[in-house]
Amino acid sequence: MDLRLPPLVDHHCHGVLRTGPEPAAFERYLTESEAPAAPGTSYFDSQLGFAVRRWCPPLLDLEPHCPPEVYLARRSELGADEATRRLLQGAGIGAYVVDTGLPGDQTAPAELAALAGGTATAHEIVRLETLAERLAAGAASGADLLDAVDAAVPDAARTAAGFKSIAAYRHGLDFDPAPPAREEAERAAARWLDAGGGRLEDPVLIRHLLWSAVRTGLPLQLHTGFGDTDLTLHRADPLLLTGFLRATAPLGAPIVLLHGYPYHRHAAYLAAVFPHVHADVGLALSHTGARAEAVLAEVLELVPFGKLLFSTDAYALPELYVAGAQLFRAALTRLLTRWTGDGSWSAPDAHRVAALLAAGNSRRVYGLPG
Amino acid sequence: MDLRLPPLVDHHCHGVLRTGPEPAAFERYLTESEAPAAPGTSYFDSQLGFAVRRWCPPLLDLEPHCPPEVYLARRSELGADEATRRLLQGAGIGAYVVDTGLPGDQTAPAELAALAGGTATAHEIVRLETLAERLAAGAASGADLLDAVDAAVPDAARTAAGFKSIAAYRHGLDFDPAPPAREEAERAAARWLDAGGGRLEDPVLIRHLLWSAVRTGLPLQLHTGFGDTDLTLHRADPLLLTGFLRATAPLGAPIVLLHGYPYHRHAAYLAAVFPHVHADVGLALSHTGARAEAVLAEVLELVPFGKLLFSTDAYALPELYVAGAQLFRAALTRLLTRWTGDGSWSAPDAHRVAALLAAGNSRRVYGLPG
Amino acid sequence: MDLRLPPLVDHHCHGVLRTGPEPAAFERYLTESEAPAAPGTSYFDSQLGFAVRRWCPPLLDLEPHCPPEVYLARRSELGADEATRRLLQGAGIGAYVVDTGLPGDQTAPAELAALAGGTATAHEIVRLETLAERLAAGAASGADLLDAVDAAVPDAARTAAGFKSIAAYRHGLDFDPAPPAREEAERAAARWLDAGGGRLEDPVLIRHLLWSAVRTGLPLQLHTGFGDTDLTLHRADPLLLTGFLRATAPLGAPIVLLHGYPYHRHAAYLAAVFPHVHADVGLALSHTGARAEAVLAEVLELVPFGKLLFSTDAYALPELYVAGAQLFRAALTRLLTRWTGDGSWSAPDAHRVAALLAAGNSRRVYGLPG
> Are the beta carbons of C345 and A65 separated by less than 8 Å?
yes
Q: What is the pLDDT of residues C68-89, one digit of tens each?
A: 999 999 999 999 999 999 999 9
Mutate to test the interface with A, among B46, B55, B261 (most CBs of A within 10 A): B46
Portion of chain B with pLDDT greater than 90, in percent: 90
Chains near C (3 or more Cβ pairs under 8 Å) = A, B
Q: What is the DSSP letter of B281?
A: -
**Residue A4 C-alpha, separation from nearest chain C C-alpha, in angstroms:** 20
Q: What is the pLDDT of residues B303-360, one digit of tens each?
A: 999 999 999 999 999 999 999 999 999 999 999 999 999 999 999 999 999 999 999 9
Chain A CB contacts of B42 under 8 Å are: 306
Helices (H) and strands (E) in chain B, counts: 17, 8
Q: What CA–CA distance (Å, rounded) separates C187 from C175? A: 17
Strands (E) in chain A, as ranges, are 8-13, 93-99, 121-127, 162-165, 220-224, 255-259, 277-280, 308-309
> Are the beta carbons of C249 and A35 separated by less than 8 Å?
yes
Average of per-residue pLDDT across B1-18:
94
Which of A40, A295, A334 lies nearest to residue C364, judging by beta carbons?
A: A40
Which of B31, B36, B40 lies nearest to residue A272, judging by beta carbons?
A: B31
Which of C33, C54, C288 lies nearest to residue B301, judging by beta carbons?
A: C288
Q: What is the pLDDT of residue B4?
A: 86
What distances in angstroms separate CA B222 from CA A192, B8, B229, C326, one per listed residue?
47, 21, 18, 38
Mutate to test the interface with C, among A27, A28, A30, A33 (most CBs of C within 10 A): A33
> Are the beta carbons of B301 and C47 separated by less than 8 Å?
yes
Cβ–Cβ under 8 Å, residues B298 and B43: no
Which of A37, A64, A287 lies nearest to residue C343, judging by beta carbons?
A: A64
* pLDDT at residue C102 greater than cutoff 80: yes
Q: How many CB atoms are closer than 10 A to CB B117?
A: 10
Question: CB of B242 within 8 Å of any CB in chain C?
Answer: yes
> Are the beta carbons of A290 and C345 separated by less than 8 Å?
yes
Question: CB of A242 within 8 Å of any CB in chain B?
Answer: yes
* pLDDT at residue C332 greater than cutoff 80: yes
Cβ–Cβ under 8 Å, residues B85 and B117: yes
pLDDT band at A230 (very low <50, low <70, confident <90, very high): confident
Average of per-residue pLDDT across B279-293:
96
Q: What is the pLDDT of residues A238-266, one digit of tens each?
A: 999 999 999 999 999 999 999 999 999 99
**Residue B273 C-alpha, separation from nearest chain C C-alpha, in angstroms:** 4
Average of per-residue pLDDT across B12-25:
91
Chain C CB contacts of B339 under 8 Å are: 290
Cβ–Cβ under 8 Å, residues A220 and A162: yes
Question: CB of C234 within 8 Å of any CB in chain B?
Answer: yes
C277-280 and C308-309 beta bridge pairing: parallel
Q: What CA–CA distance (Å, rounded) separates B254 from B101? A: 20
Mutate to test the interface with C, among A70, A259, A288 (most CBs of C within 10 A): A288
Portion of chain A with pLDDT greater than 70, in percent: 100
What lies within 8 Å, CB to CB, of A284 at 6+ separation is A225, A226, A259, A260, A261, A264, A292, A295
pTM reported for the whole predicted model = 0.98
Question: CB of B81 within 8 Å of any CB in chain A?
Answer: no
* pLDDT at residue A109 greater than cutoff 80: yes
Question: CB of A228 within 8 Å of any CB in chain C?
Answer: yes
Chain B CB contacts of C291 under 8 Å are: 297-298, 300-301
Q: What is the DSSP letter of A338?
A: H
Q: What is the DSSP letter of C33?
A: -
Say how many CA atoms lie within 13 Å of C146 toward its Cβ: 20
Chain A CB contacts of C304 under 8 Å are: 31, 37-38, 41, 43, 45-46
* pLDDT at residue C1 greater than cutoff 80: yes
> Are the beta carbons of C269 and A35 separated by less than 8 Å?
no
For chain A, what's the residue count? Answer: 370
Chain A CB contacts of C339 under 8 Å are: 290
Q: What is the pLDDT of residue B228?
A: 85
* pLDDT at residue B169 greater than cutoff 90: yes
pLDDT band at C23 (very low <50, low <70, confident <90, very high): confident
Q: What is the pLDDT of residue A67?
A: 97
Phi, psi of C96 (to 5 degrees): -110, 125
Question: CB of A35 within 8 Å of any CB in chain C?
Answer: yes
Q: What is the ipTM of this complex?
A: 0.97
What lies within 8 Å, CB to CB, of B280 at 6+ separation is B11, B12, B256, B257, B258, B259, B260, B267, B308, B309, B310, B311
pLDDT band at A19 (very low <50, low <70, confident <90, very high): confident
> Are the beta carbons of C35 and B274 separated by less than 8 Å?
yes
Q: What is the pLDDT of residue C39?
A: 87
Q: Which CATH class for the C8-20+91-366 domain?
A: alpha beta
* pLDDT at residue B370 greater than cutoff 80: no
**In terms of CA atoms, which chain A residue is nearest residue C301?**
A288
pLDDT band at A282 (very low <50, low <70, confident <90, very high): confident
Chain B CB contacts of A344 under 8 Å are: 50-51, 54, 289-290
- What mean pLDDT value characterizes chain C? 96
Q: How many CB atoms are closer than 10 A to CB B170?
A: 19
CA torsion B59→B64→B65→B68, rounded to 10°? -30
Question: CB of A239 within 8 Å of any CB in chain B?
Answer: yes
Cβ–Cβ under 8 Å, residues B142 and B116: no
Question: CB of A355 within 8 Å of any CB in chain B?
Answer: no
Q: What is the pLDDT of residues C170-218, one digit of tens each?
A: 999 999 999 999 999 999 999 999 999 999 999 999 999 999 999 999 9
**In terms of CA atoms, which chain A residue is nearest residue C352?**
A45
Q: What is the pLDDT of residue A15?
A: 97
Q: What is the pLDDT of residues A132-191, one digit of tens each?
A: 999 999 999 999 999 999 999 999 999 999 999 999 999 999 999 999 999 999 999 999
* pLDDT at residue B162 greater than cutoff 90: yes
Question: CB of C35 within 8 Å of any CB in chain B?
Answer: yes
- What mean pLDDT value characterizes chain B? 96
